[in-house]
Amino acid sequence: MSHNSDHAFRTRAVHAGHGLDPATGAHATPIYATSTFGYGSAERGARLFAGEEAGFFYSRLSNPTVRAFEEKVASLEGLPDAVAFASGMGAVSALCLTLLRPGDEVIFVAPLYGGTTGFLHEVAARFGVTVREAADEAAVEALSGPATRLIWVETPTNPALDIVDLARVARAAQACGALTVADNTFSTPALTRPAEHGIDLVMHSATKYLGGHGDAIGGVVAGSQDLLAELRGIGLRHVGAALGPFEAYLFLRGMKTLPLRMQAHCEGAQTLAEALAGHPALHALHYPGLPGHPGHAVAARQMSGFGGLVSLDLGSQGAAFTFLNHLRLFTQAVSLGDVESLSCHPGSTTHHLLGEKALRRQGVTPGLVRLSVGIEEPRDLVRDVLDALQHVQRAQFQTT
């Protein structure tokens, strides 16, 4: 690894995981497009498989390009190691299948990304795991007990943008001997490093801000050597959702500019949220950078910027659809964290499998729209959103 942990975050974003290629001196990390690696002798093959010698032997288990990505993520999260997966959901499923046993309980602070909630309820629950939904940190404290194995949080949450106090959740987990997982996709290590607040495992959908350019699907988990050895041995080796080297290359390339992109995302989202505050077409406006956001004080403490997502409640699904259909700079698409602005209606897309009751309980209202603010000029984005809101107001005026 060509970096030193004393280096600042921006320096590590550029250098961690990269070194001159030992075979050729290539400066950019090569894409090692190979499924297998010759080990030279039967004795060495046996040593590699027994774990007695470190080295590459099969790309489902490890690959030099993928390893460079893992090293960069571990360095940026300030954790000893990381393991990459083929998607964020690959990381979620590998973590659960590695760490959970029948009889264990998982507590999650709602809402989470709909796919994660779906995995917990539809897959983990099938294997005798009890899944408990907590509305906030106090509910986590009340629900946790000796059977609690995992406490799972996102902060800010997808798509409500609630802020979860990581240190408080970590204390609740320590009190009952559970492990904590923070899905850090929305914050990225540029804004929040959950391990600094006592969280054990930090995961990402790398598809989003880590890659940043909307051109690759991947996931990653960072944590201690011991936990990651178990995750590599079971969740990667036996479950098998391994990241490909080409995607790893795109993530390595994207992450060099992560701190710069996150600054621009935060600036754009803050400008947009401030321009929308008090707008008469909005029933609610969620952005942790606004002083009136209920999680603002905790966010100011545990984040170094308030993120690139803004959620708006337009009061009804009809108004939300009218708004979305009149945006021009925000592409209507799921996913987030790209340099381009994106917009979606979570209730009918990313979270629709939750069902109406759970959606309402978790704050995913019919009028909720999620905006992923890209790195375009904030002034242009504000104008685009204000124009679309005018269409909503006009449509409402015509029906009253």
For 284-355, where are the E strands, in sequence order? 284-286, 309-313, 331-332, 342-344
Active site (annotated) includes residue 379: no
Angle between helical axes of 378-399 and 258-276 (0-180°, round to 10): 40
The catalytically annotated residue of 193, 208, 232, 256 is 208
For residue 8, the minimal CB distance to ligand 4LM (Å) is 27
Of residues 207, 322, 343, 362, which one binds ligand 4LM by CB under 6 A?
A: 207
Q: Which two tokens mark 100?
A: 């959970």
Cα angle 271-265-261, degrees, rounded to a multiple of 5: 145
- Give yes or no for residue 87 binding ligand 4LM (CB under 6 A): yes
Whole-angstrom CA distances from 4 to 16, 188, 400 are: 8, 20, 64
The footprint of ligand 4LM on residues 97-136 (CB under 6 A) is 113, 115-116
Of residues 211, 219, 244, 347, which one binds ligand 4LM by CB under 6 A?
A: 219
- Give yes or no for residue 89 binding ligand 4LM (CB under 6 A): yes
Q: Which two tokens mark 363?
A: 């704050």
Active site (annotated) includes residue 39: no
For the chain, count helices (H), then strands (E).
Answer: 14, 12
For residue 227, the minimal CB distance to ligand 4LM (Å) is 19
- Residue 217 or 272 having the CB closest to ligand 4LM: 217
> Is omega for the bond preceding 189 within 30 degrees of 0, making it cis?
no
Active site (annotated) includes residue 60: yes
The catalytically annotated residue of 183, 200, 338, 384 is 183
Burial code of 63-75, b = ≥16 C-beta within 10 A, e = fewer? bbbbbbbbbbbbb
Report the distance separating Cα 337 and Cα 371, nearest Å: 10
Active site (annotated) includes residue 208: yes
- Residue 156 or 245 having the CB closest to ligand 4LM: 156
- Residue 281 or 365 having the CB closest to ligand 4LM: 365
Cα angle 299-116-118, degrees, rounded to a multiple of 5: 135
The site map against ligand 4LM for 168-187 (x = CB under 6 A) is ---------------x-x--
Of residues 65, 350, 362, 365, which one binds ligand 4LM by CB under 6 A?
A: 350
- Residue 86 or 381 having the CB closest to ligand 4LM: 86
Strand (E) or helix (H) holding 76: helix 64-77
Whole-angstrom CA distances from 250 to 28, 208, 216, 293 are: 11, 12, 7, 35
The catalytically annotated residue of 113, 209, 249, 287 is 113
For residue 333, the minimal CB distance to ligand 4LM (Å) is 8
Q: Which two tokens mark 94?
A: 């590998």
User: 309-313 and 148-154 as β-strands: parallel, antiparallel, unpaired?
Assistant: unpaired
- Residue 39 or 219 having the CB closest to ligand 4LM: 219
For residue 280, the minimal CB distance to ligand 4LM (Å) is 28
Q: Count CB-CB contacts under 10 A for residue 82.
A: 25
Of residues 70, 71, 72, 88, which one binds ligand 4LM by CB under 6 A?
A: 88
Q: Which two tokens mark 312?
A: 């708006």
Q: DSSP code of 344?
A: E
CB 330 within 8 A of CB 341: yes
For residue 238, the minimal CB distance to ligand 4LM (Å) is 19
Of residues 29, 93, 158, 302, which one binds ligand 4LM by CB under 6 A?
A: 158
Of residues 95, 272, 336, 373, which one binds ligand 4LM by CB under 6 A?
A: 336
Question: What does the chain come to in residues?
Answer: 400
Closest-approach residue to ligand 4LM (CB): 88
Find the part of the chain contacting ligand 4LM (CB under 6 A) among 33-41, 191-199, 246-254, 334-342: 334-342
Give contact residues for ligand 4LM (rule: CB under 6 A): 87-89, 113, 115-116, 154, 158, 183, 185, 205, 207, 217, 219, 334-336, 350
The catalytic site residues sit at: 60, 113, 183, 208
